[in-house]
Amino acid sequence: MTAPLRPFTEQLAAAQRRADSMLCVGLDPEPERFPGAWRGDASRIFDFCAAIVDATHDLVCAFKPQIAYFAAHRAEDQLERLMAHMRRVAPAVPVILDAKRGDIGSTAAQYAREAFVRYGADAVTLSPFMGFDSIEPYLAHEGRGLILLCRTSNPGGSDLQAQRLQDGSLLYEHIARLAAGPWNRNGQLGLVVGATFPAEIARVRELAPTLPLLIPGVGAQGGDAEATVRAGWRGSRGAQGLQSSGPVVVNSSRAVLYADGGAGFAAAARQVAEATRQALRTAG
């Protein structure tokens, strides 16, 4: 099975120190929002995303391409090119493939191969709602990160995640306990917790004090950066950059990608990324 040069959690910690950053830029390409002559042209997905990567890679602790935005336009080959490009220009920045896969047995093994062999991702997002055997095949890929949906930022997340179990705990709390305990056999698990629920971020952090938390929802979804960091961050800043016993990875996608619709889109993306990075650092 494949193994990265360095385990995901170590990569993440090093990237956060190096860039002094908790910011992850999500790569969700929408051709109808591309600048100028590229607008509506799906063949420019690689060009657009590569320009964002080139403009922001020194400001981030991770990149997060969302696979559906590529697959919907038959652009998986462009995602492969983008992964290779990120390896060249930002080899120390971990890449989280946002796929939210959730299946069992041989199917899960194929999804794991897709994420870690075909695309070479350092980590992948997964749905844990089919139980441990839906994530177990991914653990065979040594050092790769598995980031499990826990308390998501969408309003409908409460339909299941906030349901009370027989022991009195909520379902998302149970997931956090499992991820911090018996499921974390490779030491590379993390959790997805939405920025729109800072109280739940704090609760997940209490239950999983050392796991990386991937926190979407800052920016276009309205999450508050300061409240997010206060709830989830456990660490300090010093001469060596960010040091954390409980890292947070705060994702911003559309606010960065589509900061400007003209020829200066990459420079505008960098400006927004820098401002977001600074807001997160100040909150920490």
The DSSP letter of residue 101 is E
Q: Where are the alpha helices (DSSP H) in the chain?
A: 8-19, 45-56, 67-71, 76-89, 105-113, 136-139, 158-161, 171-180, 198-207, 225-232, 254-257, 265-283
Query: Distance between terminal CA atoms of the chain?
Result: 37
Q: Which helix (H) or strand (E) holds 191?
A: strand 189-193
Phi and psi torsions of 68, nearest 5°: -65, -35
Catalytic residue list contains 100: yes
- Catalytic-role residue among 17, 18, 33, 100: 100
Task: Give one word for 55, left, alpha or beta, with left for phi > 0 and alpha for psi -120 to 50.
Answer: alpha
Contact in structure between 189 and 211 (CB atoms under 8 Å): yes
Instruction: Give 133-151 as a 3 state SS string.
Output: HHCHHHHCCCCCEEEEEEE
Catalytic (active-site) positions: 100
